[in-house]
Structure 1
Amino acid sequence: MDSLDQALASAGSRTHRFVHRHPRTLAGTVVALLMGAGVTAFAIAPMAPDASDLPRRVVTESVTPEDVGSQLEVLASHEVSLYRSDLTRNADTADSLLRRVNVTDVAAATFLRTDKTARLLLEGRAGKMVQVRSDESGQLEELVARFPAADPTQWSTHFSRLSVKRVDGRFEAKVELAPLAAQVRLGSGTIHSSLFAATDESRIPDPVAVQVAEIFSTDIDFRRELRKNDTFSVVYEALTADGEVITWNQAAGRVLAAEFVNNGRSYSAVWFKDPSGKGGYFGFDGQSKRRAFLASPLEFSRVTSGFSMRFHPILQNWRAHLGVDYGAPTGTSVRSVGDGVVEFAGWQNGYGNVVKLRHSNDRETVYAHLSRIDVRVGQRVEQGMHIANVGMTGWATGPHLHFEFKVKGQQQDPLVVAKTSEAIVLTASAQQELSKVTGTWREQLKSAGSLANYTGDAE
Structure 2
Amino acid sequence: MISSSPRDKLPQLARSTPQALLDSLARHPRRIMAGVGVLLLGTGVTAFGIAPLAPDASLLPVHEVVEALPMRPLADLGVGTVPLTLFRSDTVRRDDTAQSLLQRLDVRDPAAVALLQNDPQARQLFEGRTGKLVTVETNDQQALQRLSARWLPDDGRVFQRLVVENGPEGFKVRQESGELTAQIRLASGVIHSSLFAATDAANLPDSVAVQLAEVFASDIDFRRDLRQGDRFSVVYETLDADGETMRAGRVLSAEFVNNGRAHEAVWFEEPGQKGAFYGFNGESSRKSFLGSPLEFSRVSSGYGMRFHPISGKQKAHLGIDYAAPTGTPVRTIGDGVVTFAGVQRGYGNVVEITHRDNQSTLFAHLSRIDVRTGQKVSQGDFVGAVGSTGASTGPHLHFEFRIKGVHQDPLEIARQSENIPINQAFRARFEAVAQQQRLSLNAAATLQQASAE
Shift of 1:191: 0.5
- Per the alignment, do residues 224 and 128 of structure 1 end up closer, same or farther by CA in structure 2, a change over 3 Å counting? same
> How far apart, in 2, do the equivalents of 1:316 and 1:241 lie?
54
**Which AA in structure 2 matches 1:240?**
D
Q: What secondary structure, in the 3-state scheme, does the structure 1 residue paired with 2:249 have?
A: coil
> How far apart, in 1, do the equivalents of 2:395 and 2:129 lie?
17
- Per the alignment, do residues 69 and 274 of structure 1 end up closer, same or farther by CA in structure 2, a change over 3 Å counting? closer
**Which AA in structure 2 matches 1:141?**
Q
Counterpart of 2:384?
388
**Which AA in structure 1 matches 2:139?**
D
Asked if 1:256 is matched to 2:252, the reply is yes
- Per the alignment, do residues 213 and 69 of structure 1 end up closer, same or farther by CA in structure 2, a change over 3 Å counting? closer
Q: What secondary structure, in the 3-state scheme, does the structure 2 residue paired with 1:252 have?
A: strand
Q: Which has the larger radius of gyration?
A: 1
Asked if 1:305 is matched to 2:305, the reply is no
1:426-450 residue CA offsets vs partner (Å, 9 max, x unmatched) = 2333334333332222221111011
The worse-fitting range, judged by mean Cα deviation, of 111-120 and 438-447 is 111-120
Equivalent runs, 1:26-425 vs 2, <5 Å: 72=78, 76=81, 80-89=84-93, 92-112=96-116, 118=122, 121-122=125-126, 126-149=130-153, 154-155=154-155, 157-159=157-159, 161-164=161-164, 166=166, 168-170=169-171, 172=173, 179-246=179-246, 252-299=248-295, 301-425=297-421
Shift of 1:217: 1.4
The worse-fitting range, judged by mean Cα deviation, of 379-388 and 319-328 is 319-328
Preserved contact between residue 326 and residue 395 of structure 2 (Cα < 8 Å)? yes
Q: How many residues align?
A: 380
Counterpart of 2:13?
none
**Which AA in structure 2 matches 1:452?**
Q
1:335-359 residue CA offsets vs partner (Å, 9 max, x unmatched) = 2211101111122223222211110
The worse-fitting range, judged by mean Cα deviation, of 164-173 and 191-200 is 164-173
The worse-fitting range, judged by mean Cα deviation, of 427-436 and 232-241 is 427-436
> How far apart, in 1, do the equivalents of 2:369 and 2:325 lie?
16
Preserved contact between residue 156 and residue 252 of structure 1 (Cα < 8 Å)? no
> How far apart, in 2, do the equivalents of 1:353 and 1:178 lie?
40
Match of 2:423 among 413, 424, 427: 427
For the aligned residue pairs, the C-alpha RMSD in angstroms reads: 3.1
> How far apart, in 2, do the equivalents of 1:229 and 1:304 lie?
26
Q: State, as a whole percentage, how many aligned pairs show the same letter.
A: 53
> How far apart, in 2, do the equivalents of 1:91 and 1:402 lie?
35
**Which AA in structure 2 matches 1:224?**
R
Normalised to the residue count of structure 1, the TM-score between the two structures is 0.73
Preserved contact between residue 108 and residue 171 of structure 1 (Cα < 8 Å)? no
**Which AA in structure 1 matches 2:104?**
R
Shift of 1:291: 0.4
Q: With a CA cutoff of 8 Å and minimum separation of 6, indicate the structure with the bigger relative contact order.
A: 1
Preserved contact between residue 365 and residue 404 of structure 1 (Cα < 8 Å)? yes
> How far apart, in 2, do the equivalents of 1:408 and 1:362 lie?
5
Shift of 1:81: 3.8
> How far apart, in 1, do the equivalents of 2:424 and 2:219 lie?
24
Preserved contact between residue 162 and residue 173 of structure 2 (Cα < 8 Å)? no
> How far apart, in 2, do the equivalents of 1:328 and 1:88 lie?
27
**Which AA in structure 2 matches 1:326?**
Y
Preserved contact between residue 192 and residue 198 of structure 2 (Cα < 8 Å)? yes
> How far apart, in 2, do the equivalents of 1:142 and 1:315 lie?
63
- Per the alignment, do residues 130 and 394 of structure 1 end up closer, same or farther by CA in structure 2, a change over 3 Å counting? farther
Shift of 1:311: 4.2
Shift of 1:257: 0.7
**Which AA in structure 2 matches 1:291?**
K
> How far apart, in 2, do the equivalents of 1:278 and 1:110 lie?
48
**Which AA in structure 1 matches 2:382?**
H
Normalised to the residue count of structure 2, the TM-score between the two structures is 0.74
> How far apart, in 1, do the equivalents of 2:234 and 2:391 lie?
40
- Per the alignment, do residues 315 and 134 of structure 1 end up closer, same or farther by CA in structure 2, a change over 3 Å counting? farther
1:231-278 residue CA offsets vs partner (Å, 9 max, x unmatched) = 1111111122333112xxxx5311111111111111111111235543
Shift of 1:215: 1.0
Shift of 1:171: 6.8
Q: What secondary structure, in the 3-state scheme, does the structure 2 residue paired with 1:254 have?
A: strand
Give unpaired runs (5+ residues) of structure 1.
1-66
1:358-409 residue CA offsets vs partner (Å, 9 max, x unmatched) = 1001111112232332222111111112222333333334433322222221
The worse-fitting range, judged by mean Cα deviation, of 356-365 and 302-311 is 302-311
**Which AA in structure 2 matches 1:188?**
S
> How far apart, in 2, do the equivalents of 1:333 and 1:217 lie?
18
